[in-house]
Amino acid sequence: MSNVAIEVEDLRRAYGGQPVLRGLSFTVHTGEIFGLAGANGAGKTTTVEILQGLRRRDGGRVEVLGLDPDRDRSRLRPLLGAQLQASALPDRLRVGEALRLFARLADDRVDWRTLAEQWRLGPLLRKPFGTLSGGQRQRLFLALALVNQPRLVFLDELTQGLDPAARQETWRLVEQARDQGATVVLVSHDLDEAERLCDRVAVLADGALLACGRPVDLTGAAGTVTVQFAAPSAVALAGLVDLPGVAEVGYDGEAASVVVAPSAVVPLAAELDRRGLRPADFTVRRASLSDTVVALLTGDHR
Ligand SMILES: Nc1ncnc2c1ncn2[C@@H]1O[C@H](COP(=O)(O)OP(=O)(O)OP(=O)(O)O)[C@@H](O)[C@H]1O
């Protein structure tokens, strides 16, 4: 099997003359969880709709599982799984009925009872869809997205509106789907979720690729860490900004926040010690993906 699941090259699309995808290129590897992240309106939905053959592109090359979604849509369809919108199921449809129905539509490629057990839906089989909690609905949608044993699954705003426990459970389930062999494309504007869950992330801004890579590489590329500690006054911090490797010093009336190169952390601690400041809460925080993207977007990329 090829190790490339999706190849996108110079993808272009406009709505009413207004370009929304401006030459987008990226590759999704087989068996990874790949995040498409970016602000509202960045072009994520348009991109995945083109990948699924639901929208036509204006230009560029797209290959999904070796097929062109425009030309080979009917061959591609059975290989893909997609998450339903909440409005897609009638409230009175029972969980078991939904699973059975979708399994039949997919030629009973998988035993829906096994799938129900796997996704811990067994106790919910007789419950109408309308009575499920947000987390239970999400579990059902994930099971339904996998009912045709897709090679590639598209998930959109996966954990929106879920509480932290349901969010974490959903993440585990997505990892389980990946571990069972599916390639997952996750659309999200939640960069914390993308950082936690994705093997690699493409960050879109204004229809173009802002950054693409493993979260750890993207955040590492920012090249800075943030040091935080309680400080008695802004005066106590005077001149720190002139130390080698220090990019920025902030003070909010109680705590200092100093952005530095990793190599400047120890000299900064030594300088604080020299000044008689020995904060017990001295912490060093790596930039999050969210910090990194904000820095990239504002051109504040040190
Ligand atoms: N059918 C359409 N007709 C006209 N403009 C559209 C259409 N669909 C999307 N757009 C515009 O294209 C741009 C990209 O939209 P898209 O939905 O792809 O972005 P997105 O990154 O998925 O955003 P969100 O996170 O809000 O879902 C937006 O400015 C949007 O208003």
Q: Summarize pLDDT for 92-122 with one digit per residue, the tens.
A: 999 999 999 999 988 888 888 988 988 889 9
Q: What is the CATH number that goes with domain 4-215?
A: 3.40.50.300
Q: What is the pLDDT of residue 165?
A: 84
Residue among 222, 163, 226, 161 at smallest CA distance from 195: 222
Closest approach atom of ligand 1 to CA 16: 4
Lowest mean pLDDT among 85-89, 162-166, 168-172: 85-89
Rounded Cα distance between 62 and 99, Å, is: 32
Q: What pLDDT shows up at residue 186?
A: 94
| Shortest-distance Cα residue to atom 12 of ligand 1 | 20
Pocket probe for ligand 1: among 11, 12, 13, 15, the residue whose CB has the most ligand atoms within 8 Å is 15
Q: Which residue has the tokens 């494309």?
A: 185
Cα-to-centroid distance, 114 and ligand 1 (Å): 38
For ligand 1, atom 9, the nearest C-alpha belongs to: 46
Average pLDDT over residues 284-293: 85
Does residue 274 register a pLDDT over 60?
yes
Q: Which residue has the higher pLDDT, 174 or 161?
A: 174
**Ligand 1 center to residue 21 CA distance, Å?**
10
Global pTM reads 0.82
Q: Which amino acid is at 111?
A: D
Q: ipTM of the predicted structure?
A: 0.95
The number of helices, as runs of H, and strands, as runs of E, in the chain is 10, 13
Q: Give the model's pLDDT for residue 73.
A: 92
* 9, amino acid identity: E
Distance between CA atoms of 57 and 107, rounded to whole angstroms?
Answer: 31
Q: Residue 281: pLDDT above 60?
A: yes
Pocket test for ligand 1, best of 8, 11, 20, 209 (most atoms within 8 A of CB): 20
Q: Is the pLDDT of residue 36 over 70?
A: yes
Q: How far is CA 92 from CA 85, 102, 130, 131, 228, in A?
A: 16, 16, 6, 9, 53
- What pLDDT was estimated at residue 267? 95
Residue 79 tokens, joined: 């290989």
Q: What is the pLDDT of residue 299?
A: 64
Torsion of Cα atoms, 205 then 207 then 209 then 215, to 10°: 50
Q: How far is the CA of 225 from the centre of ligand 1 (A)?
A: 34
CA 207 – ligand 1 centroid, Å: 10
Predicted local distance difference test score (pLDDT) of residue 10:
97
| Test site for ligand 1: of 44, 51, 54, 156, most ligand atoms within 8 A of the Cβ | 44
What kind and span of H or E run contains 228?
strand 225-230
What pLDDT does residue 300 have?
52
The residue whose CA is least distant from atom 4 of ligand 1 is 15
Q: In the 8-state DSSP scheme, what is residue 296? A: H
241 token code pair: 């900004």
Q: Which of 18, 46, 85, 204 to mutate to test the pocket of ligand 1 (most atoms within 8 A of CB)?
A: 46
**CA 156–ligand 1 middle distance (angstroms):** 14
What integer pLDDT is reported at residue 176 of this predicted model? Answer: 87
Closest CA to 213 of 14, 4, 35: 35
Ligand 1 binding pocket, CB closer than 6 Å: 15, 20, 38, 40-46, 189
Average pLDDT over all residues of the chain: 90
In the chain, where are the structural domains located?
A: 4-215, 224-286
Residue reference for tokens 């053959």: 53
Number of Cβ within a 10 Å radius of residue 301 = 13
The residue-averaged pLDDT of 26-55 equals 93
Nearest CA to ligand 1 atom 1: 15
Residue 129 pLDDT: 94
224-286: CATH topology is: Alpha-Beta Plaits (3.30.70)
At 142, the amino acid letter reads L
With cut-offs at 50, 70 and 90, classify the pLDDT of residue 222.
Answer: low
The mean per-residue pLDDT over the stretch 8-30 comes to 96
Instruction: Look up residue 69 and give its two tokens.
Output: 């979604």
Distance 45 CA to ligand 1 centre (A): 7
Calculate mean pLDDT across residues 265-276: 95
**Which amino acid residue places its CA nearest to atom 6 of ligand 1?**
15
Report yes or no: 141 and 176 within 8 Å, Cβ to Cβ: no
End-to-end Cα distance, the chain: 40
pLDDT (average), residues 258-281: 93
pLDDT at 25 over 60: yes
CA of 236 to the centre of ligand 1 (A): 49
Q: Is 250 exposed, middle or buried (0-12, 13-18, 19+ CB in 10 A)?
A: middle
Taking 50 as the threshold, does the pLDDT of residue 302 lie above it?
no
Question: Which protein residue has the closest C-alpha to ligand 1 atom 30?
Answer: 41
CA of 98 to the centre of ligand 1 (A): 30
